[in-house]
Structure 1
Amino acid sequence: MSDDSFLKGRGAQKNIHNRFLEGEHTPDAEYLEYCFKEGEEADNNKTRFVEVFPKTIVNKVHSPDVGMSYSMNPYQGCEHGCVYCYARNSHEYWGYSAGLDFERTILVKKNAPEVLEKKLRSKSWQAQPIILSGNTDCYQPAEKKFEITRSCLELFLKYKHPVGIITKNALILRDLDILKQLAQENLVGVNISVTSLSEETRRLLEPRTATIKKRLETIQILSENGIPVNAMLAPIIPGINSHEILPMAKAVSSAGALSIGYTVVRLNGAIGEIFTDWIHKTMPDRANKVLNQIKECHGGSLNDSRFGQRMRGEGVFAMQIKRQIELAKATFFKQKKFPPLCTSKYIKNQDDQLKLF
């Protein structure tokens, strides 16, 4: 990476056109020349937070490929900057780009706890696990400041409602006190994403995430405290981390993970352009090879939207990945099992019931 224009600490290297907008933002050449001559920054590359107040927060998940029925996301956009992230496309619905905007303009759902409690108290709601981070990471850096995720966990504990968490940030350990109480009631399960054991690869793919060492330590600490952990080896990207499946499985199992899951990378929507631009800048020597192998997993395209096929892929490379995962499970997780979460302890109207005593 000799390109001086490479944005360190970011995944996407540019903002691409939002398909829902007629206009397109293009930096003016004269302005860029002026900034250069004056020694000023045309783009300060800083993150900004925008407060939003949604009317609903719990989303029904209709995809049969995802192991969840309901999800909620305290934040829209994610500063982690994972270049492959499927959630980038959702930023376009808010009027932003799926590129740099996704990781630099973070929408903060300040009223998420209030809206969640309203849902949990609803007469029609029946307890089913709600997954925090179905779209963007609930423990991304913004959470350290806003603590929305922690407030939501307190509500899940209050109503004894099952909750799942997906994250790749060690910040989850801040809430160990609440997680331990939830785990005692079998009300929480955690999914930690591990994409590589190489720090160099991690920094390129996921520039603002916790280090690999920190993630393995997080799995260990959660497990030692009785909190069940599933490790998501995802996404598997041919030519980048596909050779690490067995070592990653061994590492997360040794740290205490009870199971593993995986997906084959798919570059849907705007992500195809973002990833292609990124890999030609970061790995020019193997960019075409990686892109072609991804296409081989999806019938000649960078993406496959077919349910049942899109997350696993097809063809020789996808089959090799599947067989490695099967071998990893048989070798490192034979005597382990991730427990189902309890739904029978849910107290719908806790305050009203307590008034009876």
Structure 2
Amino acid sequence: MECELEPHGLYFDNGVSPSTGNNMMHFPSWDSFEYTIGHLDNLVELHEDSFVIPNDLLSEDALNDLEESSGFEEDQPLIDYENSHNFFSLRAFARIKEDNWLDNSDQSGWTWDDDPDNDWLIHGTEQTVYNQYYEVMICSFIFKYMEGGVIVIDSQNQDASSILNSANNGVPIEELLTQFAGSNEKPGGITDHVIYDNSGVCVFKVTDTKRFILSNPRYRVKGIQHMSGYSVGGNGLKAYFKYKSITKNYKKKGSKWKKRRIKSYAKIVGERHDPYLGCGSPLIEVDKRSTIKKRRRRKVVIRVNPESYNSPSQLGTEIQKLESVHWQRGETFRYYYEN
């Protein structure tokens, strides 16, 4: 669909953000959103290569020491993007949480179970374009991810700010729908929604994090799975379906754990649904891997374009049919996308 609103960073009252600067990113379409994510991914990869390739003969420890002493910032393209829009992103919020958590890793009572990555509903570069409340505007519609699903809000509806205020203060999706969805005769501010249901043999929504101990106990590898497979949003707005596998690398330096550049990769392998046919249909084989590089993190994404879907569709898999694979220092760890 054509969007009559010009895209930009904006402030929209959501009941929790301070009223200074832009608290929400705004895109004219999901295609524009996806292009931005892909462009940022490419910028980060080129930025990383500009540091690693000239120093590729260094050992991993020497490379990490050089990074610290030189002040090289792996996320600089993402930071520049956020600053250009005067925007405080979910990525920036998550970075503060993770840095503080690791900085306290030498303290009594510190545990991997308190890893902030356990809490995020969105992972990867997308965190750069969502605010810390999981909100982004596509054309005139606000997409908000919640613990139980997704809601789509008409930003031009008089109740839009009230809906966000309620959602950000703990009101669950079911209650929001009762109060704000409206009826066929009088549509409300919530124009579409998804409530996750992973109760059967089919898996439609996964956000999961696991940590693995290598044979050398001073190393850790973290595996992150993210799968969102819903076509939501009326008026032709269709979000891309995605499977993600992310590998993050850590090494103990002195008494503290640090994010470290270590040769690694991420992979997705197994079988997924055809979203046209849904649960119970023949499965489609997938096998995609990132390149092996000396990085703090490696990511692989499988995208499925829902452009021609005429009704809400779900992209998923079945129990023990699809795995994320995480490789570091010659050791491989894998686990299933499961409910």
Could you tell me the TM-score, scaled by structure 1's length?
0.21
Structure with the largest fraction of helix: 1
Between the two structures, name the one with larger relative contact order (CA 8 Å, sep ≥ 6): 1
